[in-house]
Amino acid sequence: MSVLNCSTKLLILEKMLKSHFPESLKVYGAVMNINRGNPFQKEVVVDSWPDFKAVITRRQKEAEMDNLDHYTNAYAVFYKDIRAYRRLLEEHDVINWNQVFQIQGLQSELYDVSKAVANSKQLDVKLTSFKAVHFSPLSTLPNTSSLMGSSPQLTYLSVADADLLNRTWSRGGNEQCLRYIVNLISCFPSVCVRDDKGNPVSWSLTDQFATMCHGYTLPEHRRKGYCKLVALTLARKLQSQGFPSQGNVLDDNVASISLLKSVHAEFLPCRFHRLILTPAAFSGQIYL
């Protein structure tokens, strides 16, 4: 096991991961953020270098942590050999098993192997699986000028909006999520439509893995095209900065799937898997 601290090696890794799309997208997004100032205090662990077979991105050990904050305590995984990933999981000091955390990835064996190792350490594992989505290249994204007819104020989120986002996010409503949203707004691109009083009515932001997330429109402002406007604007913003414009959607979210199809987003052949792992000591204390 080795922690990649060298900026040159991290840039090489970023290029190497591109050849393994789409399965490497989550790790790629995290590595891109590391190479562009590392606002979320991440680091990269590989089984070997340069011929790695497994990569894990994690929070730096010296970063401030809340053991109940599975939003921030998040690992992204990509492997060429599932056995190498399992060996990393089992190796001392790669994963902090004494806190609530999540593992994200786009490979089918991720859940079974992670669960087997976690269960041996008496952790509970909750899996949520999503359709994985990638937006078209910048030059082919649909034009948004027709969506501006009602003259909405198109801008970005501020930390003052975090409480509203925490209350409206299906994963939110708690102290850890509020702090996480504040950090996302502070660190990464976002897009927001505001009403004539300056209040947010539709928005989306970007997470620590360069994934578009928490796309939401207040119920009284739906069917106005705001969600499409926000999604396309954020996709353009990410691509203009060199990032992929990726997202995830639950299978039963019919409205979002319809929207994504209408803008010709690509539904990837792999699925996005999010595992939330909870030590027995914290059982019943967290929001999933």
DSSP letters for 85-115: HHHHHHSTTTS-TTS-EEEEES-TTHHHHHH
**Residue 205 confidence (pLDDT):** 96
Query: Which CATH number goes with the domain that contains 171?
Result: 3.40.630.30
This prediction has a pTM of 0.93
* Same domain as 68, residue 187: no
> What was the pLDDT predicted at 152?
73
117 domain-assigned: yes
What distance in Å separates the CA atoms of residue 106 and residue 118, rounded to the nearest whole number? Answer: 19
63 in the Ramachandran plot: left (φ > 0), alpha (ψ -120 to 50) or beta? Answer: beta
- Same-domain pairing of 116 and 226: no
Instruction: Compute the distance between CA of residue 267 and CA of residue 131 in angstroms, rounded to an integer.
Output: 7
Query: Does 68 share its domain with 171?
Result: no
Q: Is residue 263 part of a domain?
A: yes
Question: Is residue 6 situated within a structural domain?
Answer: yes
Query: Which residue segment(s) compose the domain that 32 sits in?
Result: 2-132+272-282
Domain presence at residue 13:
yes
Residue 126 and residue 139 in one domain: no
pLDDT tens for the chain, 288 residues long, are 899 999 999 999 999 999 999 999 999 999 999 999 999 999 999 999 999 999 999 999 888 889 999 999 999 999 999 999 999 999 989 999 999 999 999 999 999 999 999 999 999 999 999 999 999 876 566 666 655 556 678 999 999 999 999 999 988 889 999 999 999 999 999 999 999 999 999 999 999 999 999 999 999 998 888 999 999 999 999 999 999 999 999 999 999 999 999 988 999 999 999 999 999 988 776 655
Question: Same domain for 148 and 59?
Answer: no
Please tell me whether residues 87 and 111 are part of one structural domain. yes
Q: Are residues 139 and 264 in the same domain?
A: yes
Q: How far apart are CA 54 and CA 48, in angstroms?
A: 8
Shared-domain flag, residues 151 and 73: no
The structural domain count of the chain equals 2
| Domain match, 86 and 179 both | no
Please state the three-class secondary structure of 226-242 as a single string.
HHHHHHHHHHHHHHHCC
Q: Say yes or no: 251 and 147 in one domain.
A: yes
User: What pLDDT, on a 0 to 100 scale, did the predictor assign at position 64?
Assistant: 81
In a domain, 288, yes or no: no
Q: State whether 120 and 154 are in the same domain.
A: no
Same domain, 55 and 76: yes
Q: What are phi and psi of 182, to 5 degrees?
A: -55, -45
